[in-house]
């Protein structure tokens, strides 16, 4: 299992930072690739997504000899950026 952070863009959005929805963490059996289509069940609906890209976020360490180390993620993580293509009701 691969745990990823999922960010979904609105179709046709030019600026991903302003028009993105954070869908939280999801577990995948295998890591999707750019161009893959995935179906996720969310809020009693099945969402179809087209993967645009993957962003690998490395782990960060505090600066040596820091009196107050900053709080950062301790493990590497992956963000999947996708666009919603369809929405259907789950049966």
| Nearest Cα residue to 71 out of 82, 59, 88 | 59
* pLDDT digit string, tens, across residues 51-60: 988 888 766 5
What percent of the chain is predicted at pLDDT more than 90? 15
Structural domain span for residue 26: 2-59+74-89
25 belongs to a structural domain: yes
CA 4, 10, 34: angle at the middle one, nearest 5? 45
Q: Examine the pLDDT at 80 and tell me if it is beyond 70.
A: yes
pTM for the model stands at 0.70
Q: Examine the pLDDT at 65 and tell me if it is beyond 70.
A: no
The mean predicted confidence, pLDDT, of the chain is: 78
Structure confidence at residue 87 as a pLDDT band (50, 70, 90): confident
- Mean pLDDT over 63-80 rounds to 62
What's the domain count of the chain? 1
d(CA 82, CA 36): 9
65 belongs to a structural domain: no
68 belongs to a structural domain: no
39 belongs to a structural domain: yes
66 belongs to a structural domain: no
């Amino acid at each position: 299992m691969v745990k990823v952070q999922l960010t979904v863009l609105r179709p046709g959005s030019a600026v991903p930072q302003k028009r993105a929805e954070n869908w939280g963490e999801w577990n995948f059996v295998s890591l999707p690739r750019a161009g893959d289509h995935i179906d996720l069940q969310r809020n009693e609906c099945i969402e179809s997504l087209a993967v645009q890209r993957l962003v690998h976020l490395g782990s960060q360490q505090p600066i040596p000899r820091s009196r107050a180390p900053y709080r950062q993620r301790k493990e590497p993580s992956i963000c999947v950026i996708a666009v919603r293509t369809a929405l259907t009701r789950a049966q």
